[in-house]
Every structure is written in C-alpha cells, then in structure tokens.
Amino acid sequence: MSKVFSVEPPALSPQGDSDRSRRWRRVRRIVALPIAALALAGCTVPTFGASPGATTSSRSTYHLWQGFSIGAVIVGGFTTLLILWAVFKYRRKSDRIPKQSQYHIPLEMTYTIVPVIIVLGLFAATMVVENKEVANPKTNVTINVNAFQWGWKFTYPGQNVVVVGQTTQDPVMVMPVNTNVHINLTSSDVIHGFYVHAFNFSRYALPGVLNQFTLRAVNTGTFDGQCTQLCGLYHSLMVFRVKVVSQSEYAAWLTSNASVSAALAAQAATKQQTSSNVPTRSTKSEGNN
C-alpha cells in the first residue's frame, strides 16, 4: 500500500514576523520624512511662495527665485540620495573593517568643480536681476513717496496732485501701466519699509535719506502695500494700495484730482481719522484722497 505524504510550508516564526515588521516601519519612516518636511514647509509649486510679479523687475526676481528653488531641490535631493546610498551600502555588517580606499582624483575634481560652477551661475544670474532692479531709466513720470507715523503721502510733482492717508486709511498711489515710474522715497520721522507683495519689492524709507528706484508695471489692477519695518504703535495699520491704470485713465485721474485743494483733502483725512477713534500724529503732510 502506497502512502501519500503532504508537505506543508514552514510557518514563519514570531521572530521573522517581527523583523519584517520592523523593516517595513523603517521604510515607511524614510518615505514619510521628506513628505512631512515638504508639507510643514508649506512648499507651493511652481511659485515656491513668491508672487509671479506685476512689474518687469519683479518678474525677473520671480524667475530667479524659481531657479534658486529648483536648484536647491535638485542638489538637496541628490545629496540625500547619496547619504541614503552610503547608509545602506556601508552599514555595519560585522566587526571586520571594510576595505579602505582614497585618492580618487576624477571624483574629487568633479565634486569640487561642479559646486563652484553652480555658485558662479547663481551669482551671475543674481547680478543680472539686481542690475534690472536698481536701474533708473529716464522717465517723465515721478512720484514722491513720503512715509510717516503712521501713514503715506504720494505727491505728483508738476501735477498739483497729492494723496495722503494714515492709520485706518489706505491711500492709493496711482501709476500708469507699461511706463517707467520714478519713485523718490523718504521718511519724516523713523525708519519705515515700502513693500508691495505683487511687485516682489521692498525698500527702506529712511529719515534724511533719499532712496530712488523705478517701477514699470505690466499689469493693470490694484495691489496691496504695507510698511515692513516696525515703526511704532500703529505699524500694523500703516497700509496703502497701488493702482495701475491705462495711460488714458492716468491722465484723466491727474486732471480730475488737480482741481481739488490739497489742504481740504488733508482736513478730510484728519476728520476721518478722528472719527475712527485712533490717535493721529501731527505731520506736515497735506493732500487729497
């Protein structure tokens, strides 16, 4: 009589299950760490947290920031892969000292020269963008911007137009689109910061110092601005807006506002400020909204 024997696969030992579970947990941690880092960093692609830009120089700044961010991701990712490769390939397997090697000339030249080339490329790109940022081409449109605690005054030389607002008000600086606009920035008291997020631009307003720069908006619209330098009690209320309009709208706006008395406008601003129950600071700024 023949006998039939069945062969059953050997059952996994509890120790084997435990080792497999630990390895799986390590893999999940390795995958989860970079994902968590990106999530906690608030990384936004493809802007990387910057504005696409509403002026010619701000667009250049935006593209530079994109290049820096993408380069950082590539270099950081490559470095991380090399670290992980070294960790897993050369992890300790026994007490025996592994074979030692040194003086790999081609490799050493590569990891020395490549970073130098990357730094030189970033430096050159930064210089090109910075030159655009600080350029002051000739233009017939000039706006004098004066910062004071806690408001802004925009004066249009030769146009008899002044715009002023403080604390609870948000004065509007009107400028034409596709036109170089020269800005003369000053401060009446302490250090302030002129910042427009959509322009990717910030510049200090310093007492006794004239800062000059040129803006060329490529999009029409209204953009928010604010003071970025802590300047006193109502710093957080020191906001303004930049309104970019067409050439014809800009000319019409100058004509309609030139006939308004600057003194009456200043009185209206003070009256509105007082009615809001926010203390005002006496200044020499006079103008119209």
Q: With helix as H, strand as E and coil as C, how does 106-139 read?
A: HHHHHHHHHHHHHHHHHHHHHHHHHHHHHCCCCC
124 plus 145 within the same structural domain: no
So what's the pLDDT on residue 159?
Answer: 84
Confidence label for 38 from pLDDT (cuts 50, 70 and 90) = low
State the pLDDT at residue 13.
Answer: 55
Give the per-residue pLDDT at 267.
56
Same domain (yes/no): 28, 120: yes
Lowest-pLDDT range, 12-21, 51-60, 79-88, 215-224? 12-21
Closest residue by Cα to residue 170 from 185, 190, 151? 151
In this prediction, residue 1 carries a pLDDT of: 53
Of 69-73, 102-106, 278-282, the range with the lowest mean pLDDT is 278-282
Residues 61, 173, single domain; the answer is no
Q: 89: pLDDT confidence band, cut at 50, 70 and 90?
A: confident
Beta-ladder partners of 182:
142, 214
Provide mean pLDDT across the span 102-131: 89
Q: Are residues 244 and 123 in the same domain?
A: no
Asked if residue 173 is part of any domain, the answer here is yes
- DSSP letters of 62-83? HHHHHHHHHHHHHHHHHHHHHH
Q: Report if residue 6 sits inside a domain.
A: no
Using a CB cutoff of 8 Å and minimum separation of 24, what contacts does 36-45 make? none
Do both 157 and 126 map to the same domain? Answer: no
Q: How far apart are the first and last CA of the chain?
A: 111
Residues 43 and 118 placed together within one structural domain of the fold: yes
Q: Where is average pLDDT lowest: 86-90, 91-95, 246-250? A: 91-95
pLDDT of residue 272: 45
The pLDDT, as a whole number, for residue 58 is: 83
Pair (145, 253) in one structural domain:
yes
For the chain, what percent of residues have pLDDT higher than 90? 30
Residue 158 and residue 112 in one domain: no
Number of separate domains in the chain: 2
Question: Are residues 259 and 210 part of one domain?
Answer: yes
Query: Is 5 domain-assigned?
Result: no
Indicate whether 283 belongs to any domain: no
The pLDDT, as a whole number, for residue 73 is: 85
- pLDDT band at 6, cuts 50/70/90? low
Same domain, 186 and 116: no
Is residue 8 situated within a structural domain? no
- Listed ranges 26-35, 65-74, 86-95; the one with the highest mean pLDDT: 65-74
Which of left, alpha, beta for 178 (phi over 0: left; psi -120 to 50: alpha)?
left
Instruction: Report if residue 3 sits inside a domain.
Output: no
Residue 181 has pLDDT above 90, yes or no: yes
Residues 157 and 57 in one domain: no
Structural domain boundaries, residue 233: 141-275
CATH number, position 206: 2.60.40.420
Check whether residue 124 and residue 185 sit in a common domain: no
pLDDT band at 43 (very low <50, low <70, confident <90, very high): low
Tell whether 209 is covered by a domain.
Answer: yes
Within-domain flag for 9: no
Give the separation between CA 25 and CA 255, rounded to whole angstroms: 71
